Amino acid sequence: MKNDLFSIGPFTVHGYGLMIAIGVLSAYYMVEYRAKKKQMDWEKVFPLTVWSVLGGFLGSKILYLLTRLPDILANPALLGSSIKDGFVVYGGIIGGILTAWIYCKCTKWNFWKIFDIAMPAVAMAQGFGRIGCLLAGCCYGRELDPANPIGSCSTIPPMHQMTSHFCRRRLFPVCWILQTASCCLHCRRSSKQTDRWRAVI
């Protein structure tokens, strides 16, 4: 695809990195806005975002290395290139959530409350990330006509476009609605019961 968008001197702007940055920044500002609106300790949102992003990158890299473990064991020289390239988004989500949980434990912040307001933003960031995957040309399937590289064939659906659309247009509002329902439960139930509902949601 077109991962190198443009260059300014020796500096090149890559589509994948740009989309990841847009996703992280948009998620951060959304969580901060919602934390202020709910009168939470919003000053903790920035360090929480930094640690979650670091944990997410670490988790995505670890899972990527695990997926390539047989090849690396067969040829240890691949470890160098595998460390520099490649991420798996599911590892990033797991690593980010785990890091956020550790941060909340260390700062005595209610994890479920921040989890409620953060997950819609995570879904939105995932949508931007999938656009980055499309630009980078990773997660490729069947080879297509160079004249129509973004098209799809009858047997291979355009997963990047579909996932991005799903995260931004479907998963994002669903998370928002579920979070609102969770807040309604919080008003009517004890905190212990509410926490159980949040865990399910």
Hey, which residues does 14 pair with through a beta bridge? Answer: 4
- H or E segment and range at residue 5: strand 4-8
Which amino acid type is present at position 73? L
pLDDT per residue rounded down to tens, the chain (201 residues)? 677 888 888 888 888 888 889 999 999 999 999 999 988 988 999 999 999 999 999 998 999 888 888 888 888 877 777 777 778 888 988 999 999 999 999 999 999 888 888 888 888 888 888 888 777 777 665 666 666 655 554 444 555 445 544 454 555 555 555 555 555 555 444 444 444 444 444
Give the burial string for 184-198 (b: 16+ CB within 10 Å, else e).
ebbeeeeeeebbebb
Per DSSP, the three-state class of 142 is coil
CB 22 within 8 A of CB 128: yes
